[in-house]
Structure 1
Amino acid sequence: MKLIAATLAAAWATTAHALPSLPVAARQDSLTGSCPTSCDAKALGTALSKCAKVYYPGSSEFTRATTRWSVLATPQPQVVVIPCTEQDVAETYVGGGVKVKFANKKNVPFLAYNTAHGALTTLGAMDSGVEIFLENLSSVQVSADGKTATIGGGTMSKKVTDTLWAAGKQTVTGTCECVSYMGPALGGGHGWLQGHHGLISDQWVSLRVVLADGSIKTINRDSDLWWAMQGAGHNFGIVTSATVNIYDIVHSDWAVETLIFSGEKVEEVYAAVNEHLLKDGTQPVDIINWSYWLNNPDADPNNPIILFWILQEGVSVVDPIYSKPFYDIGPIVGTPTAGDYRDLAGWTGIDLAAGPCQKAGTINPRFPLYVEKYNITAQREAYDLFASKVSGTSPFSGSLFLFEGYSLQGVKAIDDKSTAYAFRGDNLLTAPLITYAPGGDALNAEAEALGNELRNIIHRGSGAANKAVYVNYAYGNENPKEWYGSDSWRQDKLKALKTKYDPKGKFSFYAPIA
């Protein structure tokens, strides 16, 4: 167990320091920092409710609100607004009706923030403007009949999980505790429970959305916009709350087998995943497999190791029918652990205390790709390249290669044409994560080349004609066909809805449609 704990610590060694806790102004009218010459503090201040806050550069609050998890090609807001109500969201960029019309009148861009884990380089196109930080729109309210919950647009995933758990309920959320509920959901959103219920966005009953013209609408499946919000929602509005389906907790028990393999076992490990877990896309609904490639000198001083998990719902020990084939391969170490659903993030190194939840000034681009199964030859080729570029004193030594194998029944049960999320037929999500300290344009180009080539190796091995890219992990050099599906009808539908709901392209910084 000590070796496994050390491995997780090593995985995130370059992101080990959290930002200090910073004070927050009590009232909006105590503006902090220096208002840039292009802003109008009085106009913006009078448009917002008394509990909203406005921060400018030079204040600690502004720094806290604008700091991102990955610092490559980051947006550069000049003003931060922390809305207290959904009306504040509208006022920030439409602004007080005929009286102010703040952002539109000032002709400055705006961008909604949740936890700032999105790392797309397209965000860097915002080189000035207004940040709308949704952290105060944080709430989880269970309905009287216990069938739905209404979740505020800025609510963290962990708060959703913990609040519902206390009520004996669950829903699908993102796997990492420190990301928002809504951020992943707008791109479809994978989660531990998707085998039962589908993607995060598949749980939606209705949304409250502030549209590009500043109007606040409740939309549901009767709206033509509903289709686009489920997978391409970043392009159409700011969601201030979502009413979602929730479910009784059926199984409180979960178990995990955590295994470490040396890199020489790549072929055997991923062949075993294909044969004993994935089973041509029919992985049992109670089983999830995950793995990372990463450096841990205590386990292997020369090459990255394979850190592999088998997670099973409803048991205290993973069934040997799933775990034995992997123990037969010969791991360096294997450890069984029992707990409940709330332990999954900690087991896999993505809880609040882990490195991915810290903002330490590093660059963290990902290069995701969906595949139907593992091509064993491609896995070896990718491993050898990854090992050659991240071992020893490499500036990329803190990097990972992620392989996520969720159960799929709930995702595939939903009509592929019914949502903008386009990749329900794919079974596995792969993503090199190239982590490094800022070092200039040449180092950035080297990291991009490495991430692209690792993804290209996996893509060539898949035999697929087009790249299928998970938009929530995307790097930014992909295109709309790769983010939202290559079918011409999908692209045409998205463009038509964009023209209808956001003709001036107000929402165009996160994986833009055109």
Structure 2
Amino acid sequence: MHFQAKLLATAVAWGLATAAPAAAGLDTEAASNSAARTLGCGLRDFWRFASTLSHQAEVYFPGSAQFAQYNERWSNVEPPAVNITILPATEQDVVEIVKIASGCNIPFLAYNGKHGATTTLGRMDWGIAINLRKLSSVVIAPTGDKVTVGGGTNSKVLIDALWDAGKQTVTGSCECVSYMGPALGGGHGWLQGHHGLIGDQFLEMNVVLANGTLKTINANSDLWWAMNGAGHNFGIVTSVTSSIYPIAHANWAIETIMFTGDKVNAVYQAVNDHLHNNQPVGLVEWSYWMNIPEISPSPVIELYIIQEGVTVVDPIYTAPFHALGPVSATPRTGTYRDMSGWVGIALDGPPCQKTGAANPRFPIYLPAYNATAQEEVYAAFAAATAAPGSPFANSLFLFEGYSTQGVAAVDPLSSAFAFRDDNLLLAPLITYTPAGAARDLQAKQLGNQLRQILHNGSGRSQMHTYVNYAYGDESTEQLYGHEQWRQTKLAALKTKYDPNGRFSFYAPAV
């Protein structure tokens, strides 16, 4: 409560100086002096801060509708607690916010889509939320081979702007997430088989460091290595310039093939045998497990086979699954912009809605499926989610099988992203209505049980996980690589660029 009171006094002073509605009727001078005494910052610092923000910047406090709107999160397990929300409108606004926050030792957290679900965010129990949504821009270079994207740009905005110009690049597959958020953890996407991860497309970026300085960096900077794979730990990216490419194939096709759970072993053995062995660049395999009681009392398997440059998925890929006796097989055709909708992650899809639910994930990378382990983990998932009255009935199990040639082609030493040799990304998504610490612990135990079954089936001694899906209890080795040189390099860069740990709420690297 002491810390909360400190920031409340600061917020009052800032709010009055910027004409934010929540501060009316309060004693500006008294509040400012209180903040100055408590935080050790001079009174002039607060007035100077207020005057340096652009007129388009917005400041909101608890109790306002905008504060609630801009802090509503997709997952509500150990969310960050904040006392003031600022929407910077310019790059320089971000500089000023970080400068004053760091100088006064006030915690801060930058975000955009609010889909980050790691429980480490809960370590922020007071401070400033920096909502980057006003830094949304897409500027294609006259040369047509690169684009400069504002740090608050949504993936869907970028996809559509590039498409209208006959271009595309690697973005996250989910339309409602930000472009930058996934990219800082490497970032998977539909086009990664051609071009690599989202972060692999970067050519230059503007980043605000922990001391409030703005740096333009590229591959000549030692920080560049860290920003692709561990970037959440080092700064706030206000803009990035990335490679873009002509649209190679306007048309894409999908076949959605549904199975009941008794086919789980056969389905994933067939995925190994017919899709992942020599998987073409333009082929993607995804699947979900979910409860649809009107079809089956146990979770169904919904398999998606997606192919570029065709109007019907080649039967060489679908026939082996037809032979297994599916419940249904539904082909569709469209364009690249239809893909997220096909797999239920478009802007209007359920995963893009903020309903107050808890949505922790428990990711694991694998080289291939172990069909026996798939049977075992299916049985555990079904027992926990399909039982009558289960609080986890709306949970999903995600299985992402992108083509990986472009990811593997990048030198593994060149970035902090450590798991370029892995072919599959799997994650149970345990969805439930928050109901206290006991329910949270139950969900955590279930998610880790399911992940451990998959890990045991991999035959590996070391677990590989995806930082952008992290639950929050993963080790730094599991998130950023088990090689000692990686851990040493990350620690050294952290000491150099963020010695006071300002950027340590999202899956900290040290």
- TM-score of the aligned structures, taking structure 2 as reference length: 0.92
The aligned residue for residue 77 of structure 1 is 82
Pair 1:454-2:450 in alignment: yes
Instruction: Determine which of 380, 404, 408 is the counterpart of 2:375.
Output: 380
1:388-403 matched pairs, under 5 angstroms: 388-391=383-386, 392-403=388-399
How far apart are residue 39 of structure 1 and its match? 6.0
The aligned residue for residue 62 of structure 2 is 57
How far apart are residue 457 of structure 1 and its match? 0.1
How far apart are residue 107 of structure 1 and its match? 1.7
How far apart are residue 93 of structure 1 and its match? 1.9
The aligned residue for residue 12 of structure 2 is none
> Whole-Å Cα distance in 1 between the matches of residues 452 and 470 of structure 2?
14
> Whole-Å Cα distance in 1 between the matches of residues 223 and 290 of structure 2?
41
The aligned residue for residue 67 of structure 1 is 72
The aligned residue for residue 433 of structure 2 is 437
Q: Secondary structure at the match of 1:111?
A: strand
1:387-426 matched pairs, under 5 angstroms: 387-391=382-386, 392-426=388-422
Residue identity matched to 1:262: T
How far apart are residue 139 of structure 1 and its match? 0.6
> C-alpha offsets along residues 364-395 of structure 1, whole Å, 9 cap, x if unaligned?
00000000000111100000000000013200
Q: Residues 447 and 276 from structure 1, CA distance in 2 versus in 1: closer, same or farther, beyond 3 angstroms?
A: same
Contact 2:17/2:47, CA 8 A, preserved across alignment:
no
Q: Secondary structure at the match of 1:277?
A: helix
> C-alpha offsets along residues 47-66 of structure 1, whole Å, 9 cap, x if unaligned?
31111111111101111111
Contact 2:73/2:354, CA 8 A, preserved across alignment:
yes
How far apart are residue 479 of structure 1 and its match? 1.1
* Unpaired segments ≥5 residues, structure 1: 1-26, 95-101
Residue identity matched to 1:500: K
> Whole-Å Cα distance in 2 between the matches of residues 113 and 345 of structure 1?
22
> Whole-Å Cα distance in 1 between the matches of residues 509 and 409 of structure 2?
27
1:153-232 matched pairs, under 5 angstroms: 153-232=151-230
Q: Secondary structure at the match of 1:299?
A: coil
Q: Secondary structure at the match of 1:226?
A: helix
The aligned residue for residue 9 of structure 2 is none
Contact 1:370/1:427, CA 8 A, preserved across alignment:
yes
Residue identity matched to 1:259: I
The aligned residue for residue 8 of structure 1 is none
> Whole-Å Cα distance in 2 between the matches of residues 72 and 334 of structure 1?
36
> Whole-Å Cα distance in 1 between the matches of residues 441 and 23 of structure 2?
35
Contact 2:102/2:211, CA 8 A, preserved across alignment:
no
Pair 1:246-2:244 in alignment: yes
> Whole-Å Cα distance in 1 between the matches of residues 251 and 108 of structure 2?
44
Residue identity matched to 2:171: T
> Whole-Å Cα distance in 2 between the matches of residues 226 and 380 of structure 1?
42
Q: Residues 28 and 329 from structure 1, CA distance in 2 versus in 1: closer, same or farther, beyond 3 angstroms?
A: farther
Contact 1:47/1:92, CA 8 A, preserved across alignment:
no
Instruction: Determine which of 78, 92, 95 is the counterpart of 1:90.
Output: 95
The aligned residue for residue 502 of structure 2 is 506
Q: Secondary structure at the match of 1:49?
A: coil
Q: Which has the higher contact order (CA 8 A, sep 6+)?
A: 1
How far apart are residue 250 of structure 1 and its match? 1.1
Contact 2:102/2:212, CA 8 A, preserved across alignment:
no
Q: Secondary structure at the match of 2:356?
A: coil
Q: Secondary structure at the match of 1:296?
A: coil
> Whole-Å Cα distance in 1 between the matches of residues 493 and 47 of structure 2?
35
Contact 1:28/1:51, CA 8 A, preserved across alignment:
no
> Whole-Å Cα distance in 2 between the matches of residues 45 and 345 of structure 1?
41
Pair 1:268-2:266 in alignment: yes
Q: Secondary structure at the match of 1:266?
A: helix
> C-alpha offsets along residues 451-478 of structure 1, whole Å, 9 cap, x if unaligned?
0000000000001111101000000001
Pair 1:287-2:283 in alignment: yes
> Whole-Å Cα distance in 2 between the matches of residues 454 and 429 of structure 1?
14
- Report how many residues are paired: 478
Contact 1:34/1:57, CA 8 A, preserved across alignment:
no
Pair 1:351-2:346 in alignment: yes
Residue identity matched to 2:453: I
Contact 1:111/1:131, CA 8 A, preserved across alignment:
yes
> C-alpha offsets along residues 270-314 of structure 1, whole Å, 9 cap, x if unaligned?
0010000001xx3111100000000001211x1000011000000
> Whole-Å Cα distance in 1 between the matches of residues 475 and 19 of structure 2?
43
Contact 1:28/1:50, CA 8 A, preserved across alignment:
no
How far apart are residue 106 of structure 1 and its match? 2.7
> C-alpha offsets along residues 231-270 of structure 1, whole Å, 9 cap, x if unaligned?
0000000000010000000100000001110000000110
Contact 1:80/1:131, CA 8 A, preserved across alignment:
yes
How far apart are residue 105 of structure 1 and its match? 3.5
> Whole-Å Cα distance in 1 between the matches of residues 398 and 225 of structure 2?
29
The ranges of structure 1 where at least 4 consecutive aligned residues each deviate by more than 2 angstroms after the TM superposition are 27-30, 32-45
Q: Residues 204 and 28 from structure 1, CA distance in 2 versus in 1: closer, same or farther, beyond 3 angstroms?
A: farther
Query: In terms of mean alpha carbon deviation, does 183-192 or 48-57 score higher?
Result: 48-57
> Whole-Å Cα distance in 1 between the matches of residues 213 and 47 of structure 2?
23
> Whole-Å Cα distance in 1 between the matches of residues 35 and 364 of structure 2?
41
> Whole-Å Cα distance in 1 between the matches of residues 47 and 299 of structure 2?
55
Pair 1:492-2:488 in alignment: yes
> Whole-Å Cα distance in 1 between the matches of residues 208 and 498 of structure 2?
11
How far apart are residue 399 of structure 1 and its match? 0.2
> Whole-Å Cα distance in 1 between the matches of residues 17 and 173 of structure 2?
34
The aligned residue for residue 364 of structure 1 is 359
- TM-score of the aligned structures, taking structure 1 as reference length: 0.91
* Unpaired segments ≥5 residues, structure 2: 1-15, 37-45
Q: Secondary structure at the match of 1:141?
A: strand
Instruction: Determine which of 84, 101, 112 is the counterpart of 1:103.
Output: 101
Q: Residues 435 and 34 from structure 1, CA distance in 2 versus in 1: closer, same or farther, beyond 3 angstroms?
A: farther
> Whole-Å Cα distance in 2 between the matches of residues 444 and 212 of structure 1?
32
Query: In terms of mean alpha carbon deviation, does 43-52 or 420-429 score higher?
Result: 43-52
Q: Secondary structure at the match of 2:374?
A: helix
The aligned residue for residue 474 of structure 1 is 470
